[in-house]
Amino acid sequence: MAKITGQVQMLFDLNKCLGCQTCTSACKTAWTDKDQGQEYMYWNNVETVPGRGYPKGWQTMGGGFKACTNQVDLSAPLPSINRDYGAPWEYNYDEVLTTEGGDATVGMLVPAPRPDAPNDYSSNWDEDVGAGAHPDAYYFYLPRICNHCSKPACVAACPRKAVYKREEDGIVLIDQDRCRGYRYCIKGCPYKKIYWNPIVKKSQKCIFCYPRLENEDPENPLAKNFCVTQCVGRIRWVAYAEDTTSNLYKLVNVWRVGLRLHPEFGTEPNTFYIPPLSPRVTNGTAPRIPTDLLAEMFGDNCSQTFEQRKARVEEVFAILEQERAKVAAGGTSELVDILTSYSESDRIQL
């Protein structure tokens, strides 16, 4: 792999995500709503945590590098579209909504295939289900795109060198002409962010909206990643890792509130998450979302222990609470200012 001279990064503030799926819809309608075989693909998805995610159970599906080595884990079976993603259902709109001769239509709008086992799943099946017990039940939203990892397991897994990482910006792409559909990349990606197109028999994935980055509109230079520009909650920041003046850089490296999702997979993701604070449990002091759950998901790097990760999550919470308290007391905080994000140009710095 050639030396990467630039690296795009994205940061998500999970305290601001409202689970509206506008990012998902923007991505879907931009990139994967036209070609057959892409119906089930969500290059960007948002899943409820705790929950099984998309594909179902991806967090334990395998892939990534074994114990921080350079050896890709290809032992796990490939996810199946019906069982693990859920077959994307179609509807009989014509039957139900078209009338003839002025008669009220008889019929019911039904999904096909029916969302019953084994097709009882979709990208958002576990939405808002959560865990715990009322009134302390809890859940939060986790938006996910391809992490455009610095050490991409998909690139390492591909025997055709069809998956590649661009030198200029670190975006990971699949050369659709070279791809032969072996799907080692899907086995190798521990985040299961590569999708198999069964019609064209090639693997496809999030392209970080590179055509929008390459063809900058001079009249609208902030028109970059659709998932970022459409984000209702303004939870996403994008920047080049090398730009030490960016707000993303400040959040990750100066304020140190951005954590990686499952860094133990060993791929060095270029996406960062600010873990979600939550109210205290009833009659207790523990946060409603168990810190253990967050420590199992988030950390800095591959070699951290669980205890170190838990300490980091608690450290992030302490920083957030301390800076919020400053503002609540009438003071100012650079961190809170960045997180408030007054304009698009505060978040889109590519």
Partner 1 sequence: MPLWPKDTLTTGRSPRVLFVWGANYLNQAKGFLDVYQTLWPKLDLIVDLNFRMDTTALYADVVLPATSWFEMWNLNTTDLHSYIIPFTPVIPPQFGSRSDWQIWQGLADALANTGVVFQDSLPDGTTITRDYATLGTDFRTLNTDGQDLSDDKDACQFLLDSSVETNGLTMDGIAEQPARLLETSEEWTSDLLPNQAYYGFQRMTEHLKPLHTLTGRQQFYIDHDWYLSDFREELPVYKPPVDADLYPLRWITPHGRWSIHSTYRDLKFQLRMQRGRPIVYLSPSEAQARGLLDNDPVEVLNDHGSLVAHLCVSPRLPAGMALMYHGWESYMLKNNLDDTSGFKNGWQGPCTIRIKPTQLVGGYAQLKFRLNYWGPTGNQKDTRVQVVKYAGTLP
Cα–Cα–Cα angle for 343, 349, 350, nearest 5°?
145
Residue 97 CA to its chain's centroid (Å): 36
| Cβ pair 317, 324 in contact under 8 A | no
Q: How far apart are CA 75 and CA 62, in angstroms?
A: 7
Counting contacts by CB under 8 A, is residue 90 touching partner 1? yes
Nearest CB to partner 1, comparing residues 95 and 321: 95
In the three-class reduction of DSSP (H, G, I as helix; E, B as strand; rest coil), residue 185 is classed as: helix
Bond prior to 115 in cis (omega within 30° of 0)? no
Q: Is 6 in the site for partner 1 (CB under 8 A)?
A: no
Taking the C-alpha atoms of residue 207 and residue 38, their distance in angstroms, rounded to an integer, is: 14
CB 61 within 8 A of CB 80: no
Minimum CB separation from partner 1 for residue 213, in Å? 25
Residues 6+ apart with CB under 8 A from 214: none
Closest to partner 1 by CB, 29 vs 305, is: 29
CB 251 within 8 A of CB 336: no
Residue of the chain from 7, 24, 247, 278 that contacts partner 1 (CB under 8 A): 24
Q: 195 is written with which tokens? A: 């999708």
# residues contacting partner 1 (CB under 8 A): 45
Output the smallest distance, CB 338 to partner 1, in A: 20
> Per CB under 8 A, does 124 bind partner 1?
yes
Q: Residue 135 interacts with partner 1 (CB under 8 A)? A: yes
Closest distance to partner 1 from the beta carbon of 114 (Å): 8
222 binds partner 1 (CB under 8 A): no
Binding residue for partner 1 (CB under 8 A) from 130, 150, 223, 234? 130
Residues 68-87 within binding reach of partner 1 (CB under 8 A): none
Min CB(179)–partner 1 separation in Å: 26
Stretch of 122-130, 178-186, 189-197, 306-314 lying at the interface with partner 1 (CB under 8 A) = 122-130
Give the one residue of 1, 67, 109, 325 binding partner 1; rule: CB under 8 A: 109
* Residue 37 in the binding site for partner 1 (CB under 8 A): no
**Minimum distance of partner 1 from residue 91's CB (angstroms):** 6
Sign of CA dihedral 162, 165, 167, 168: positive
Alpha helices (runs of H) in 233-272, residue ranges in sequence order:
247-249
Chain-centroid distance of CA 28 in Å reads: 14
- For partner 1, the binding residue among 68, 89, 293, 311 (CB under 8 A) is 89
Tokens of 85: 């993603």
Q: Which residues lie near partner 1 (CB under 8 A)?
A: 19-21, 24-25, 28-29, 33, 39, 88-91, 93, 96-97, 99, 102, 104-111, 115-117, 120, 122-125, 127-135, 137, 139
